[in-house]
Amino acid sequence: MKKEFQNMTDVELAAKLKELKSELFSLRFRHVSGQLENPLSIRNCKRDIARVNTEIRAREVKKA
């Protein structure tokens, strides 16, 4: 999974982050309404968001 984010461009990372945040909102909404089959998907989504944010920050530090 880590390699997947390292191979993305900055624009792709920003788009992926937006997509993951939207997915997390949807997962939380479905969890509250009792329609979420797998509660672990929320944790996985949060971890993917963290991975993307880490890669974005690493690139910022590398450029500076």
In this structure, is the dihedral angle defined by the CA atoms of residues 26, 28, 29 and 34, taken in order, positive or negative?
positive
CATH code, domain carrying 8: 1.10.287.310
Range of the domain at 19: 2-63
pTM: 0.91
**pLDDT higher than threshold 70 for residue 1:** no
What are the helix and strand counts (H, E) for the chain? 3, 0
Cα separation of 4 and 10, whole Å?
Answer: 13
- Please, are residues 20 and 48 in contact by the beta-carbon 8 Å criterion? yes
pLDDT tens readout for residues 36-58: 999 999 999 999 999 999 999 99
CB atoms inside a 10 Å sphere around CB 32: 9
Number of compact structural domains in the chain: 1
Q: Average pLDDT for residues 20-46, to the nearest whole number?
A: 97
Within 1-64, where are the H helices? Answer: 2-6, 10-32, 40-63
Q: Average pLDDT for residues 22-35, to the nearest whole number?
A: 97
Confidence of residue 64 (pLDDT cuts 50, 70, 90): confident
